[in-house]
Amino acid sequence: MGTIINGKELAEKLQDATAVEVKELEKAGLRPGLVVLLVGENAASQTYVKNKQLAAQRIGIHSKVMRYPATISEDELLKEIEHFNQAEEFHGILVQLPLPKHIDEEKVLLAIDPIKDVDGFHPMNLGRLFAGAPHMIPCTPYGIMKMFEAYEISLAGKQAVIIGRSNIVGKPMAHLLLAENATVTIAHSKTANLPELAKKADILIVAIGQGHFVTKEFIKPGAVVIDVGMNRNEAGKLIGDVKFDEVEPIAGFITPVPRGVGPMTITMLMQQTVEACRRQKLGE
Ligand code: GUN
């Protein structure tokens, strides 16, 4: 039976430590601030943004959500970003993805001042990460690394397979694992013999966005299985990319959905907002 990695519990512990840091900054007259730009009415995005706000409140981070109609033009949105690049009270800017089709996501991410890019999606921050000298790190892979640390899961020399090649999860995850001396394979929906490949993994990270895609046939006994999936089944229930019930008995470690990776993503966002504040105000 696998050890269940309790992301929620670890997230709360780390958030408590960040809250202490925020109190310390307060003594120096500083309050970290995060502004979230939300375009349109995407239901999943609304939930994520609400959870981010709750975490910010819990920690004492000043947070503001700017809501825009799905019809906002790209130019208008870019102007808003420029405004917040200049706004002293916000040290972090997050544009919730996905954006409506008529807006060029790449242009928008490029417009965010890299020093305020707490999501770590700006090409400058991705480049720094890929070069091995990160500033801001995409929060989901960063949170997964914190899980490995907390559960004392060693990575050096291990075979890691990542299913999913997004800029937000798969690619940055690969670089973080590589920096810890894992041997990394990035697989995806077009990979041949995927179950066979996955079965070689000591560490299996699944971010493919298909509910219950990974079954027991993908799993090497004792493997560490990290499920980044957030899908709704026909009944509207939140499910992961991994068929937890059949994989858990074989795995060495496994994350549940919910209460796994999700709370860690939010926690790292908060931590990077505090770091961004320190960097901008204290020159650290
Ligand atoms: N949409 C889904 N996940 C994320 C995330 O981590 N950050 C942003 N900005 N949008 C997302």
Residue 1 has pLDDT above 90, yes or no: no
Candidates 15, 117, 119, 146; catalytic one: 119
Q: Is 271 a catalytic residue?
A: no
Ligand 1 center from residue 94 Cα (angstroms): 8
The answer to whether 84 and 35 are in contact (CB under 8 A) is: yes
> Which residue, 181, 169, 175, 206, is CA-closest to 191?
206
What does the pLDDT average to over 129-154?
97
Give strand ranges (E) for 15-61. Answer: 33-39
Asked if 4 contacts 151 with a C-beta cutoff of 8 angstroms, the reply is no
Mean pLDDT of 170-194: 97
Q: Is 56 helix (H, G, I), strand (E, B) or coil?
A: helix
* Beta carbons within 8 Å of 37's beta carbon, 6+ residues apart: 66, 68, 77, 80, 81, 84, 93, 94, 95, 96
Which amino acid belongs to residue 196? E
Q: Which of 119, 139, 273 to mutate to test the pocket of ligand 1 (most atoms within 8 A of CB)?
A: 119
**How far is ligand 1, taken at its centre, from the CA of residue 119, in Å?**
8
265 C-alpha to center of ligand 1: Å?
Answer: 9
Residue-by-residue DSSP string for 139-159: HHHHHHHHHHHHTT---TT-E
Structure letter (DSSP) for residue 168: T
Q: Is the pLDDT of residue 48 over 90?
A: yes
In the chain, % of residues over pLDDT 70: 100
75: CA distance to ligand 1 center in Å? 21
What is the mean pLDDT of the segment spanning 69-85? 98
C-beta 46 within 6 A of ligand 1: no
Return the pLDDT at 236.
Answer: 92
Order of all β-strands in the sheet with 253-254: 3-4, 253-254, 224-227, 203-206, 159-163, 183-187
Q: Is the CB of 125 under 6 A from ligand 1?
A: no
Q: DSSP secondary-structure letter at 214?
A: B
In the reported structure, the alpha carbon of residue 95 is separated from the centroid of ligand 1 by a whole-number distance in angstroms of 8
pLDDT of residue 89: 97
Cβ-based burial of 193 (10 A; exposed 0-12, middle 13-18, buried ≥19): exposed
pTM for this structure? 0.97
Does the annotation count 119 as an active-site position?
Answer: yes
> Domain 139-262 carries which CATH code?
3.40.50.720
**What Å distances lie between residue 146 and 7, 143, 153, 154, 219, CA to CA?**
10, 5, 10, 12, 22
Average pLDDT rounded to a whole number, residues 159-176: 98
What is the model's pLDDT at position 153? 98
Q: Is 97 in the pocket of ligand 1 (CB under 6 A)?
A: yes
Region 31-57: what's the mean pLDDT? 97
Mean pLDDT over the full length of the chain: 97
Amino acid 284: pLDDT: 87
Q: What is the mean pLDDT of residues 1-5?
A: 93
d(Cα 229, Cα 207) in Å, to the nearest integer? Answer: 6
Is residue 139 lining ligand 1, measured as CB closer than 6 Å?
A: yes
Indicate which atom in ligand 1 lies nearest the CA of residue 94.
Answer: 9
Active-site annotation holds for 202:
no
**How confident is the model at residue 16, as a pLDDT?**
98
Residue ranges of domains in the chain? 29-113, 139-262
29-113: which CATH topology? Rossmann fold (3.40.50)
With a cut of 90, say whether residue 251 has pLDDT above it: yes
Provide the edge-to-edge strand list for the sheet that holds 62-68: 62-68, 33-39, 92-95
Is residue 262 part of an annotated ligand binding site?
Answer: no
Taking CA atoms only, the protein residue closest to ligand 1 atom 4 is 97
pLDDT digits (tens, 9 = 90+) for 81-122: 999 999 999 999 999 999 999 999 999 999 999 999 999 999
Neighbours of 267 (CB within 10 A): 26
Verify whether ligand 1 is closer than 6 Å to residue 94 (CB atom): yes
